[in-house]
Structure 1
Amino acid sequence: MASAEPAEPDQEGTEEEVSDQRPAWSRYVIFGAAALAVLLVGATLGMVLTRATDEQPTPPPAAGSVEVGFAQDMSVHHLQAVTMANWARDHSADPAVVQLAFDIGSTQLEQVGRMKGWLMLWGQPEEAIGDYMTWMPQGHGHDHAMPQTSGEASSTAPMPGMATSEEMSKLRSLSGKRLDVYFLQLMLRHHQGGTDMAQYAYDHSSNGAVRTLADSMLRSQGAEMDLMRQMLARRDAQPLPFP
């Protein structure tokens, strides 16, 4: 008798549902080689969707615009999440944490490819020249005009929600339950910072492709934040403060 196919978890899936659908070991073996393909697919998709939404020829977004700033800064923000997720995926022994990390890493890597595809199409550099977050005026939740740094080069996080170099080093030093809890805490805070950026882009961009991606981020990361809060509670842990 044919076995029933496992049901897909809903948007507010529990940790147990995630655990039951963990990927086979072979997914991890091929992930490194597949990452580049995911990035390229995302870039291609970004360019195709941008062209598809341009029903009438319009000038490409300029440097300093919401669209360009969002694509540049969110790519940097996402890449740190991919780094943290890949570390947890490869070093955690908890199937639920491994599955969540795999999902976050693969999803955000594809989104980075899409945003870099836009920047290529618009003739803009992959990273902003100067400070981060200048496309978001002061007063939208945080002091957004943060100094430009190279990711982990400073003890100060370059953008809201991002981990500092000390926090990244601590994550890599942990194992077992302590690793799982700290990863969940860092990633939850990281998502909180990212959703602020996505919400601003969704509210202020006139570009259909940008608004569609920002809305997708808000929905998927909102569900992941709910799940991470549940997972922390089951481990008798609390989220990190988010100013």
Structure 2
Amino acid sequence: MSRTHWAAITAVVLALLFAGAATVSSAGGRGDDSAASGTPTADSADAGFARDMSVHHQQAVEMSFVVRDRTKDEEVRRLAYDIANTQANQRGMMLGWLDLWGLPKVEADREPMDWMASGAHGSHGGHQAADGSLMPGMATRADLERLGRASGKQAEIEYLRLMIVHHNGGISMAKGCVELCTVDTEKALAQGMVDAQQSEVRLMVDLLRKRGAEPLA
């Protein structure tokens, strides 16, 4: 495994450990005075990021399991496992925060990404992308169908291309939380996502080029 990949995994593990410990601490110290504790509201950036990034992460997990079944290449399978495991754990943490805050995990009447509308990264706020995806970087149904039909080297290329775009979208969202979220543990996790996913993007670009392909424009 490359030094870059180890750095990505280390950054995520540290973020998860810090955020998990701090969450337990804050939950234990809240007592009965939740109103005075600064608990996020349903329309806050903290809640919006937790909801939307949980959906975003779920697709990354699904794509990673697809490619593990479509190739025997150990390098790509190992990367896919790492992404699936990391993002499933982070998703569980964010959904746990929503439970802790007493907030819904899904709000049907709220546009995805509307929490980013007030920040510097707000160009995605409340708008569906032109390609039909709900959030920055998310694969469309056609993308997922193409990945599901591919095998071997072509499946590796499809996965790496889609995941680079997916990570870049996730990085934009995580930077939005770093800017707009108010819960320190969540901001720390978001910054960990930025650092780790930027490192993984560099790794995936290298893996693509080893296969004679380039990232999508």
TM range (shorter): 0.7 to 0.9
Aligned partner of residue 4 in structure 2, secondary structure: coil
Give 1:88-127 correspondences, 5 Å limit: 88-127=67-106
- Among 178, 196, 208, the alignment partner of 2:184 is 208
TM-score for both structures, normalised by structure 2: 0.83
On the 8 A contact 2:45/2:116 being kept in 1, the answer is: yes
Structure 1 stretches of 4+ with a deviation exceeding 4 A read 45-48, 53-57
Give 1:165-176 correspondences, 5 Å limit: 165-176=141-152
TM-score for both structures, normalised by structure 1: 0.75
Aligned partner of residue 42 in structure 2, secondary structure: coil
Per-residue deviation, 1:9: 4.3
Partner residue, 1:11: 4
- Among 92, 115, 127, the alignment partner of 1:146 is 127
Per-residue deviation, 1:47: 7.0
Partner residue, 2:114: 134
On the 8 A contact 1:133/1:144 being kept in 2, the answer is: yes
Per-residue deviation, 1:143: 3.1
Per-residue deviation, 1:128: 3.1
Partner residue, 2:205: 229
The structure-2 alpha-carbon separation of the partners of 1:212 and 1:53, relative to structure 1 and needing over 3 Å to count, comes to farther
The structure-2 alpha-carbon separation of the partners of 1:209 and 1:125, relative to structure 1 and needing over 3 Å to count, comes to same
Partner residue, 2:12: none
Aligned CA-pair RMSD: 2.6
Q: Which amino acid is the alignment partner of residue 105 of structure 2?
A: E
Partner residue, 1:19: none
Partner residue, 2:9: none
The structure-2 alpha-carbon separation of the partners of 1:218 and 1:143, relative to structure 1 and needing over 3 Å to count, comes to closer
Q: Which amino acid is the alignment partner of residue 224 of structure 1?
A: E
On the 8 A contact 1:92/1:180 being kept in 2, the answer is: yes
Per-residue deviation, 1:100: 0.4
Unaligned runs of 5+ in 2: 7-15, 31-35
Q: Which has the higher contact order (CA 8 A, sep 6+)?
A: 2
Aligned partner of residue 11 in structure 1, secondary structure: helix
Per-residue CA deviation, residues 73-104 of structure 1 (Å, 9 max, x unaligned), is 00000000000001112221111100000000
On the 8 A contact 1:53/1:209 being kept in 2, the answer is: no
On the 8 A contact 1:12/1:226 being kept in 2, the answer is: no
Per-residue deviation, 1:11: 2.9
Count of aligned positions: 200
Per-residue CA deviation, residues 16-67 of structure 1 (Å, 9 max, x unaligned), is xxxxxxxxxxxxxxxxxxxxxxxxxx8xx97763242476751310011110
Cα distance in 2, alignment partners of residues 46 and 116 from structure 1: 13
Per-residue deviation, 1:200: 1.0
- Give identity over the alignment, percent: 37
Q: Which stretch of structure 1 is more off in the superposition, 203-212 or 96-105? A: 203-212
Cα distance in 2, alignment partners of residues 236 and 9 from structure 1: 19
Partner residue, 1:160: 136
On the 8 A contact 2:181/2:187 being kept in 1, the answer is: yes
